A = this chain, B = another copy of it.
Amino acid sequence: MDNRVVTVSREFGSGGRTIGRQLAAKLNIPCYDYELIDKVAEESGFARSYIAEHGEYAAYGSRIGNALLSGHFVNGVANQDFLWIAQRKVITDLAEQGPCVIVGRCADYILKDNPNLLKVFIHSDLDSRAERIVKLYGESDVAPLKRLKDKDKRRAAYYRYYTDMEWGVAKNYDISLDSGRLGIDKCVELLAQLY
């Protein structure tokens, strides 16, 4: 597994997905994001909507989701564990097929033994992210800041549960960038240069 692979972990609303797509286009290599969901659906038989929701976030209400959020151990294997295993296989296979950019889904951890991995984390301040999610996804009953804090909390809980590492800590990544301060284009430019 010695392909040059870029993993982009990102805060919800930080523009990490856009940065991953633009970087892949610039490097002329594939970017796996939504595509990942399709492949995991094939692999696991789970519905796309289930994968999109439970493949990165601790789910409220579910046994494991509550466990993820509370940090308590759960006996037995829940759907989310099967999903993790399927996602893990898809991501490992993709990284073996050739150079690519993979957005989210703990790919940084799953591929950590790849010596040519470039681990990227994209973050931004709450206000910039709130403005961005309203622009991209529109208004909802829930206030933007509340949506962001909820997503951050559930994504961090999911990451902690499956990787035993803290999400968003600089030393887990080769490079971390504030997309709000630096701008999306500048982030893409820096990463393309690093690759």
Contacting A178 at CB < 8 Å: which of B125, B173, B178?
Answer: B173
Contact A121 B170 (CB under 8 A): yes
Binds B, one of A43-51, A52-60, A135-143, A186-194: A186-194
**Is the CB of A164 closer than 8 A to any CB of chain B?**
no
Query: In the assembled complex, which residues on chain B have CB atoms less than 8 Å from the CB atom of A190?
Result: 190, 193-194
**Is the CB of A77 closer than 8 A to any CB of chain B?**
no
Contact B171 A123 (CB under 8 A): yes
A190 to B168, CA, bound (A): 21
Secondary structure type dominating chain A contacts:
mixed
A191 closest partner in B (C-beta): B190
Contact A174 B177 (CB under 8 A): yes
Contact A173 B176 (CB under 8 A): yes
**Is the CB of A89 closer than 8 A to any CB of chain B?**
no
Contact A168 B168 (CB under 8 A): no
Contact A170 B176 (CB under 8 A): yes
| Chain B: minimal CB distance from A110 (Å) | 18
Contacting A168 at CB < 8 Å: which of B121, B170, B175?
Answer: B170
| Contact (A123, B170) CB under 8 Å given A186-B194, A190-B193, A193-B193 | yes
Which residues on A are within 8 Å of B, measured CB to CB? 11, 121, 123, 125, 168-171, 173-178, 181-182, 186, 190, 193-194
